[in-house]
A and B are shown apart, each in its own frame.
Chain A
Amino acid sequence: MTAPNAVPPTIALGAEPGFVVQLEAFSGPLDLLLHLLREEKIEIADIPIARICDQFLKAIHELGLNQAADYLEMASRLVRLKVQLLLPRNLDDDEWEDPRAELVRRLLEYQQIREIAQWMGSAVERRTERLARGYLPPPPDLPPLPLTLDLLGLLQAVDRVIAAIPIPVLHRVVARPLDVEGATRRIEALLEAHGEIGWLDALGPEPTIADLLSILLALLELARRGVLQLRQPAPFAPMVIARESAHPAV
C-alpha cells in the first residue's frame, strides 16, 4: 500500500493533485478506511467523520466506476454519518447513540479478520517451506480389458443368455405389465439380507421374460439412483450386484 505523499494529508487535501492512492492495493472500502485512519494516526473509536469522509471521497475519485460500487456504498454511509453528526442535538439527551458506533464495530471486526488473514498468510508461507512429493495426477481408471473373443466363447455366451430364459416365446403379448416396483422391492430385500448377490440370484427360480425385464429395469434404475453397484469382474462373467457402500469419510 502506498501513500507517496509525505506531506501531512490535511495539507495535501488542499493541494491540487490531492491524495494519490493505489486502489488496487486495497481489498475493499474497509481496508482503505483503515489505511486512512492509520495514516492520520486516528483511534478507531474516535473517528473525525467529516475529515475522513472527505479523504475517502477523494481517494475513490481515481477509481473506475465499474469497480467502485463497494466503495461508493461506503462513501454514502460516511456522508450520511457526517450529516447525522452535523445535526444539533440536546446535550442531556441520554438516549443519543453515537451514529459512528456501527462503523466502529465493523472496522474492529474487519481489522480482526485482517489479522487472522495475515496469520493464515504466514501459515501458508510456512507450509510451503515443506515440500510434499511432486504432484501426482490421480491414476486413470483402468481401461476395460480388451475383448479376446472367439466364436465358441460368443456362442457360449449366447447360450447362457438363452438358458436364462426358460420359455423362448418371442411373440406374445404380455398380459401383465412389467412389475418394476415389485422387482425393485425384491432386489432391495435381497441386498438387505446378503449385501452382495449374483445376477442369477436376483432373477430367482424360473423367471418369465417379464420377470427378467422387470429385474433388469429395476437394477438399472437402482444403479442410476446410486443404491447399488453393478460389476462384471471379467467379460462374460456373471454380473455381481452389490449395495453401494456409504461414501468413505475423508
Chain B
Amino acid sequence: MNLLTQLCEAALFSAARPLTVEELATLDPEATLADVRTALDELREHYDFNQHGVELVELAGGYQILTRPVHAAAIERAQFSARAPRLTAAALETLAVIAYRQPVGRAEIEEIRGVSAGGVLRTLQERGLLEVVGRSEALGRPLLYGTTPLFLELLGLRDLTDLPKAEELTIALHPHRPEAQGPDDAEAYVPAES
C-alpha cells in the first residue's frame, strides 16, 4: 500500500461519516482526485483480496469503511453494536413521496398518502433525513421538503439515482398531474432565505 492509500484508510477509519473524494484529496496537497480514486481502488481490492472483515463502500456521494454483512449477526449478538430503530410505515411512505417528488410540499404528500403528515415530517426532519429546501410560489408559500445526505446513508445509496426507476416498479409511474395543485409547484420554487 502506498502512502496515499494508507492516508485514505486512516482518514476513513477515523471519520464518523462517508468522506468524498474531494475531502480525501485535502489529506495530501500533492494528490489529485484521480490519485485518490486510484488509492481507494487499491484499498477496496486490498480488503477484498485479503478477505478483511470490513469493506470499502460507496455511500451518500462518498466512501466509508463498513463491516461485511455476514458478520452483522455475530456482532449484534455480542452487543458490540446495535441497529438503529426501524422506520415506521408512515415514515417510509413519506420519505418515498419526497424522494421521488422533491422539492415537494406538505399538501402534495398528504394528498398522495391520504393522511395528515405534520408529525411524521417533523420527526423525519429531527432525525436529519429531511430538510426544507425552499418555498413554493403557491398560495401561502408553503415549505418544500427534500431528502438529505443522511437519507442516502441510511438506505445505503450512492445517490438518488440508486432508487428504483419507474419501469422497475410493478405499478407504472403515473405522469404528474399538477392541475389539481394549481401552478406546477414542483418546478416553481425559490430557495429558502438562509
A→B interface (CB under 8 Å):
27-31, 69-70, 73-74, 105-106, 108-121, 123-124, 126-136, 138, 250
Whether B155 contacts A120 by the Cβ 8 Å rule is: yes
Our pick among A28, A116, A124, A138 for the contact of B115 (Cβ within 8 Å) is A28
Contacts A111-B171, A135-B16: A120 and B96 contacting too (C-beta < 8 A)? yes
Query: In this assembly, does B114 line the interface, its C-beta being within 8 Å of a C-beta of chain A?
Result: yes
Interchain CA distance A119-B116 in the complex, whole Å: 23
Contacts of A118 in B (CB 8 A): 92
Which B95-147 residues have a C-beta within 8 angstroms of A? 95-97, 99-100, 112-116
Whether A127 contacts B164 by the Cβ 8 Å rule is: no
Interchain CA distance A69-B67 in the complex, whole Å: 46
Whether B114 contacts A131 by the Cβ 8 Å rule is: no
Contacts of A127 in B (CB 8 A): 153-156
The minimal Cβ–Cβ distance linking A194 to chain B, given in whole angstroms, is 23
Number of interface residues of B (CB under 8 A): 49
B→A interface (CB under 8 Å):
13, 16, 55, 57, 64-69, 71-72, 75, 80-81, 83-84, 86-90, 92-93, 95-97, 99-100, 112-116, 149, 153-157, 163-164, 169-174, 177
Interchain CA distance A69-B177 in the complex, whole Å: 25
| Nearest 5 CB-CB pairings of A with B | A127-B156, A129-B69, A28-B115, A130-B66, A117-B92
Whether B174 contacts A108 by the Cβ 8 Å rule is: yes
Interchain CA distance A141-B89 in the complex, whole Å: 38
Closest to B13 in A: A133
A-B contact pairs, 11 of them (CB 8 A): A27-B115, A28-B115, A117-B93, A117-B96, A120-B163, A123-B156, A124-B86, A124-B156, A131-B75, A133-B65, A135-B16
Whether B113 contacts A27 by the Cβ 8 Å rule is: yes
Contacts A130-B57, A250-B149: A70 and B89 contacting too (C-beta < 8 A)? no
Closest to A139 in B: B16
Contacts of B72 in A (CB 8 A): 128-131
Whether B67 contacts A130 by the Cβ 8 Å rule is: yes
Whether B171 contacts A70 by the Cβ 8 Å rule is: no
The minimal Cβ–Cβ distance linking B53 to chain A, given in whole angstroms, is 10
| Extra pairs beyond A116-B164, A128-B72 (5, CB < 8 Å) | A28-B115, A70-B114, A115-B170, A131-B66, A131-B67
Contacts of B84 in A (CB 8 A): 128
Whether A131 contacts B81 by the Cβ 8 Å rule is: yes
Interchain CA distance A70-B62 in the complex, whole Å: 41
Contacts of B66 in A (CB 8 A): 130-132
Whether A116 contacts B68 by the Cβ 8 Å rule is: no
Whether A124 contacts B112 by the Cβ 8 Å rule is: no
Contacts of B86 in A (CB 8 A): 121, 124
Interchain CA distance A131-B156 in the complex, whole Å: 11
